[in-house]
Structure 1
Amino acid sequence: MTRRLTALFGGAGGLIGAVLVLLIVADGLAAPLIAPYDPLAVDMTASLLAPASDHLFGTDQAGRDVLSRVIWGGRASLEVSALAMVIGFAGGISLGLLAGFFSGGWLEQLLMRLLDAMAAIPLLIWAIALVGILGVGPFTVAGITFGNEVKLLALLGVLYIPTLARITYASALAESRANYVAARRLQGVGSLRIMISDVLPNCLSPVIVQATLLLAIGIIIEASVSFVGLGVQPPNPSWGNMLADARNYLFSGEWWLSVFPGAAISLSVVAFNLLGDGLRDALDPRHTAQALTA
């Protein structure tokens, strides 16, 4: 059983990454059940307590339990990164597939130049522009109020599109020139059906691997944007704004305020990278053939 799982995830590293990702996701989903305290509950009498049996990760300057805030902060980071990936995955695959399959015409040039323009602007410039238009707090559209997290995940999702589209484009460009596509055309099959049922499945492997790696990048970006005050807004916990609050206590001895959220970010990024590397090996036919002959 262990050998099969190891092979499924491309090796021991991929399996370890998958287990860690599963634990991180389960931790985020079960945050209301497993968090020992309310992450927003203020208790000034318990301010800046060191880690102990009552508060395993200590408390912050407002007496809030750091462990509970780390757990809930992970939920916020995963929600933003995962939902952004859904947007990027859908948009990137659609645009890349169209540009690669219908290469050599105006559609390819239009889509690829649009993607180049999107990728040329740094993330923080996009974030500052978005905040300048919509503000830092919640905003309302058609009577529906959206939090700052919605703006952040929409921004990340749009910025994921160029990377995923380019990978899909390269694969679709090669697949569209394969003999089986020409054979399908001779059978009278339409371009749309060939693109979706034949070309798309053969393009998914590298896109899935890249999407997994982008989830790790998304966690870092969410933490970075929240760190500078453009992401999840206090008092709602996020690993980024927890680190921002901990800056004031770096040299006063309250090490737990920065160590635990920083360790959570590091562990999550390592887990997703291990999973991505393992999936890359598992989905690579050359690696699979070498493993079988070894």
Structure 2
Amino acid sequence: MSGIALLRRGRLWRLLRDQGSSLIGGLIVAIVLLTALLAPWIAPRDPVEIDIVNALLPPDAEFPLGTDQGGRDVLSRIIWGTRVSLTVSLLAVVIGVTLGTLLGLFAAYHRGSWIEQVLMRLMDMIASIPLLIWAIALVGIIGVQPVTLGPLTFDNEHKLLVLIGLLYVPSLTRVTHAVAQAEMSADYVRARQVEGASPIAIVLGDVLPNCLSPIMVQATLLIAAGIVVEASVSFIGLGVQPPRPSWGSMLADARNYVFSPEWWLPVFPGIAISLTVIGFNLLGDGLRDVLDPRRVTRGLA
């Protein structure tokens, strides 16, 4: 029985409930998502407002996470940085899943042909270079200046999410191709072909639904990777540009205070990145266990 069918019948929740780490990950992810959505209402101060009088204040009742060298509230900047990190990582995953799924299905449909070989070897070649190296190299080449295409202006955040999304395509193509290739050899596909169903109807209507479980797991894990990539690129000044708050740029601003009494400057953005990445990884691992047919069968036996 597929993971999608379990989700519809409510059994997925009962399986997840038995996994404490998955629930912890889901709780962390839920808190992070709510923080990003409600940032304008829950942030106590303007995240970009300079107040030199209150510069480098330690955590207290007025500033729960202290202030930075410009007197800006660290808590407010972390809250708004949540929105930036999730926007980049989530939209990048949407781009990667869309293109990667289509290319994986296309390659699987042409299994055994030169089209499959050329496409998958190209994906392997791109995937052989680490994602972060690609991101730093390409953003460095493109530059950080806004790009204008007709009436549309793309700032560095938009360029970054598109770039990361395109770099997600190889891994998602390989996952989709591996699963779809096995599905294309199944008896139900042959039966559909005998019935006279079109290739598009078979691939999109029959094969794709059975590929969604591993795609969902991979997408969840890639969200965590995207947060790290965005923070890393912003750390070296090629990501989200000031004055917009970003966890990576906050760490970059705090690197001169690592061994100083102002310990809160590097600690709290680092905790935000670590907890968010851990949350998505725990959730992804839990989904992998739950949506694994062998795991599902044992859990329902």
Asked whether the equivalents of residues 10 and 280 of structure 1 are also in contact (C-alpha less than 8 Å), the reply is no
Asked whether the equivalents of residues 6 and 15 of structure 1 are also in contact (C-alpha less than 8 Å), the reply is no
Distance in 2 separating the partners of 1:140 and 1:214: 29
Asked whether the equivalents of residues 58 and 67 of structure 1 are also in contact (C-alpha less than 8 Å), the reply is yes
- The equivalent residue for 2:185 is 177
* RMSD of aligned alpha carbons: 1.8
Matched, 1:225 2:238: no
From the superposition, tell whether residues 125 and 213 of structure 1 become closer, same or farther in structure 2 (CA, over 3 Å): closer
- In the TM superposition, what is the alpha-carbon distance from 1:128 to its structure 2 partner? 4.6
> 249, 254, 265: which one pairs with 1:257?
265
Between 64-73 and 278-287, the greater mean CA deviation after superposition: 278-287
Identity of aligned residues (%): 59
- In the TM superposition, what is the alpha-carbon distance from 1:111 to its structure 2 partner? 1.4
- The equivalent residue for 2:72 is 64
- The equivalent residue for 2:109 is 101
> 112, 115, 118: which one pairs with 2:120?
112
> 32, 44, 57: which one pairs with 1:49?
57
Task: Determine helix, strand or coil for the equivalent of 2:262.
Answer: coil
User: Residue type of the partner of 1:16?
Assistant: I
CA-to-aligned-CA distance 1:237-271 (integer Å, 9 cap, x gap): 11001001110111221110011100000100110
Asked whether the equivalents of residues 17 and 274 of structure 1 are also in contact (C-alpha less than 8 Å), the reply is yes
Distance in 2 separating the partners of 1:148 and 1:110: 32
- In the TM superposition, what is the alpha-carbon distance from 1:41 to its structure 2 partner? 0.3
CA-to-aligned-CA distance 1:28-71 (integer Å, 9 cap, x gap): 01100000000000000000000000000000000000000000
Distance in 2 separating the partners of 1:204 and 1:4: 14
Distance in 2 separating the partners of 1:4 and 1:199: 21
> 77, 81, 86: which one pairs with 2:85?
77
- In the TM superposition, what is the alpha-carbon distance from 1:124 to its structure 2 partner? 4.8
Asked whether the equivalents of residues 47 and 63 of structure 1 are also in contact (C-alpha less than 8 Å), the reply is yes
- The equivalent residue for 1:16 is 24
Asked whether the equivalents of residues 100 and 176 of structure 1 are also in contact (C-alpha less than 8 Å), the reply is yes
Task: Determine helix, strand or coil for the equivalent of 2:148.
Answer: strand
Aligned residues: 292
Unaligned runs of 5+ in 1: none
- In the TM superposition, what is the alpha-carbon distance from 1:133 to its structure 2 partner? 4.4
Matched, 1:244 2:213: no
Misfit runs of 4+, over 6 Å: none
> 193, 198, 205: which one pairs with 1:197?
205
- In the TM superposition, what is the alpha-carbon distance from 1:208 to its structure 2 partner? 0.5
Map 1:15-34 → 2, pairs under 5 A: 15-34=23-42
Between 280-289 and 95-104, the greater mean CA deviation after superposition: 280-289
Distance in 2 separating the partners of 1:4 and 1:182: 30
Asked whether the equivalents of residues 80 and 245 of structure 2 are also in contact (C-alpha less than 8 Å), the reply is yes
CA-to-aligned-CA distance 1:51-93 (integer Å, 9 cap, x gap): 0000000000000000000000111000000000000000110
Distance in 2 separating the partners of 1:227 and 1:106: 42
TM-score by length of 1: 0.94
- In the TM superposition, what is the alpha-carbon distance from 1:207 to its structure 2 partner? 0.9
Matched, 1:40 2:48: yes
User: Residue type of the partner of 2:259?
Assistant: F
Unaligned runs of 5+ in 2: 1-10
Distance in 2 separating the partners of 1:18 and 1:250: 31
- In the TM superposition, what is the alpha-carbon distance from 1:125 to its structure 2 partner? 4.7
- In the TM superposition, what is the alpha-carbon distance from 1:4 to its structure 2 partner? 7.3
Asked whether the equivalents of residues 69 and 237 of structure 1 are also in contact (C-alpha less than 8 Å), the reply is yes
